[in-house]
Amino acid sequence: MGETGNRLIQHWKRKWQSAWPVIGFFLVLFFLVVFRFGITYCLTVSVFTTLFQVRRSRNNTVGSAVFLLGESLVLVALSHLAVQNLFWCVLLNGLVPMVLVFFGSSQFAPKGYFAAAMMFVFHQMRPAENLPEQLAVVVVCWAVCMAALFLVQKRKLGTSSPLPKERGLADLVALLKKMAQGEKSKALLKECFTLEETYHRLAYQTGSWVKTGGNKRKQYDILALLFQRSCYLIADPAWKEDKGQ
């Protein structure tokens, strides 16, 4: 088949391994909602499939799950209010997206507001006449989504070792050894910068705008700061000159 064919096979294999959990989640949730509540609520399935896809690479906690439920119920209620008359439509469609962008996006997640915006907009496209039933659908979808996310997270924890903070210390030790041996290449600087960005991202994903993240976030912040200072040291030509003297 040749080297090109093998690369294509490996590429599509990785694509399938990444896509099948999302496809499976969508099918299970779709049939559950349609057979239990009706086709009217199928857009809710699309929203929670997007949430599953976005959050399955994050560190999900009970606190973040409860916050997601509250956020989802509020956004669905607001979308129901927005279709009642022109005044609420203009006011809420101007205010809610702005709030979501302000609190939901950051340098590490420029489109972090996207799933929440889908929750608000999609439920206006096909508004349900029975709001309590619509909220019940949201609760069911949320429960299935969080169960799937915690299952994926538990599976990753069972197969990944060591923990990120322990791996970060090992990476820092290896980086300092290379610097002590006089290595100051662009590749080393790039490696250091990548590690700094990784732990800044982990710190961001650990907390939220209503939750600080506790000691775990502080540990990731400290590791990111250490790698940042290492980047400064690698990029400083005076350090190498002093070491040579």
Give the Cβ contact number of residue 243 at 10 Å.
11
What integer pLDDT is reported at residue 142 of this predicted model?
94
What integer pLDDT is reported at residue 166 of this predicted model?
62
Highest-pLDDT range among 25-29, 64-68, 106-110, 195-199: 25-29
In the chain, domain spans: 2-159, 164-235
Q: What does the pLDDT average to over 20-29?
A: 90
Q: Which residue has the higher pLDDT, 124 or 111?
A: 124
pLDDT in tens, 195-238: 777 777 777 666 554 444 556 677 777 777 777 777 777 776 66
What integer pLDDT is reported at residue 182 of this predicted model?
66
Q: What share of the chain has pLDDT > 90, as a percent? A: 25
Helix (H) or strand (E) holding 138: helix 131-159
pLDDT at residue 191 is higher than 50? yes
Query: How many residues are recorded in the chain?
Result: 245
d(CA 127, CA 112): 24
pLDDT in tens, 133-166: 999 999 999 999 999 988 887 776 554 444 555 6
- Please state the pTM of the whole predicted model: 0.68
What integer pLDDT is reported at residue 245 of this predicted model?
46
What integer pLDDT is reported at residue 92 of this predicted model?
92
Q: What does the pLDDT average to over 63-84?
A: 91
Q: Which residue has the higher pLDDT, 51 or 59?
A: 51
What integer pLDDT is reported at residue 144 of this predicted model?
94
Of 56-65, 144-153, 158-167, 182-191, the one with minimum mean pLDDT is 158-167
The answer to whether 128 and 40 are in contact (CB under 8 A) is yes
Helix (H) or strand (E) holding 96: helix 86-104
Q: Which residue has the tokens 């662009």?
A: 186
